[in-house]
Amino acid sequence: MPHTPSPGTLFVVATPIGNLEDITLRAIRVLREVGLVAAEDTRRTGRLLNHLGISTRTVSLHEHNEHDRALPLVERLLAGESIAVVTDAGTPLLSDPGRLLTAAAAARGIRVEPIPGPSAVLTALAGAGLEWSQFAFLGFTPTKQNARRAFYKQADALGLPFVVFEAPHRLRASLDDAALVLRPRPLVVCRELTKIYEEFVRTTTSQAVELFRVREVIGEFTLVFGAAEPVEDTREPHSDASIWAEVGRLTAAGRTRREAIAELARQEGRSSKDIYAAAERGKTAATPESSQA
């Protein structure tokens, strides 16, 4: 009976989105140890490997050759070789090359192991500092005006904060359409994430059009749209939790706790004692379950 080797592992490796220091210790080890790196752009990945002092061989795997390359790569995995798949930037998924290879490998029972790391979506959300517990990622906006307006209309209907990618030469047109179609909401325009000229412009859908009429528009953009209204308020208006949160916001802005409570009492038309009690209940009710997004 012929010897059957145990299959290799297909590692789905996240790579930097702009700053070459944004790579994990495990990603470096895996890229060094695998037999082959399947890369969207071998020159770009070659520069990263070179920077890291890694000499693993690369093979190109992009949308125009993935259909032909996936099967031979699956055969090599079945023969025992481990392979890493990377894209130009960030966490490989969505419409990126590699998805077909991942699906084919999983279907053959090959172990698929994601190596977490940078992603433009979560970097934008972490830097934006808006408030939410849920969000949607909607990819690039459509290039044509009609389609883009329909896109923003659908995005508005989701009722969630959402993140999109936008090309620099379409940014102004896209902000115009967003202002026209979306209910007014906070907007953080993220430029050149993790790069030298990284910037977070904290604005609103109403103000952004004017703001970017006079700003230079260069670089890669990720737009973070907040909720149309605070999500917690639509669910339970003036709840204990929202009063507790509001006390926190006011004290962080420089008020004493006493001043914050007095101010909220005026706004809510309730007594300070009442607001104090609500804030204490809101604090106690805060769930101890922490998310690990």
| Phi, psi dihedral angles at 136 (to 5 degrees) | -120, 145
| Phi, psi dihedral angles at 165 (to 5 degrees) | -100, 145
| Nearest approach, Cβ of residue 34 and its own copies (Å) | 15
CB closer to its own copies, 118 vs 269: 118
| Nearest approach, Cβ of residue 126 and its own copies (Å) | 4
Specify the pairing of strand 186-191 against strand 199-204.
antiparallel
CA distance 232 to 236: 6
118 touching its own copies, by CB under 8 A: yes
Q: Which of residues 121-140 bind its own copies (CB under 8 A)?
A: 121-127, 129-140
CA distance 53 to 260: 55
CA distance 194 to 268: 42
**Binding its own copies by CB under 8 A: which of 70, 171, 182, 189?**
70
CB closer to its own copies, 1 vs 17: 17
Instruction: Indicate the residue type of 60.
Output: S
CA distance 252 to 230: 19
| Nearest approach, Cβ of residue 185 and its own copies (Å) | 16
96 touching its own copies, by CB under 8 A: yes
Q: Which of residues 36-55 bind its own copies (CB under 8 A)?
A: 40
| Nearest approach, Cβ of residue 179 and its own copies (Å) | 22
CA distance 11 to 102: 9
CB closer to its own copies, 94 vs 269: 94
CB closer to its own copies, 1 vs 43: 43
**Binding its own copies by CB under 8 A: which of 247, 261, 265, 275?**
247
**Binding its own copies by CB under 8 A: which of 33, 50, 57, 64?**
64
Number of residues that bind its own copies (CB under 8 A): 94
What is the edge-to-edge ordering of all strands in the sheet holding 111-115? 58-60, 36-39, 83-86, 9-13, 111-115
CB 195 within 8 A of CB 96: no
The Cβ of residue 225 has, within 10 Å, a number of other Cβ atoms equal to 26
90 touching its own copies, by CB under 8 A: yes
Q: Which of residues 163-182 bind its own copies (CB under 8 A)?
A: 165, 167
286 touching its own copies, by CB under 8 A: yes
CA distance 201 to 86: 30
CB closer to its own copies, 122 vs 217: 122
CB closer to its own copies, 133 vs 145: 133
CA distance 115 to 104: 19
| Nearest approach, Cβ of residue 180 and its own copies (Å) | 22
Q: Which of residues 190-229 bind its own copies (CB under 8 A)?
A: 193-194, 198, 200, 202, 220
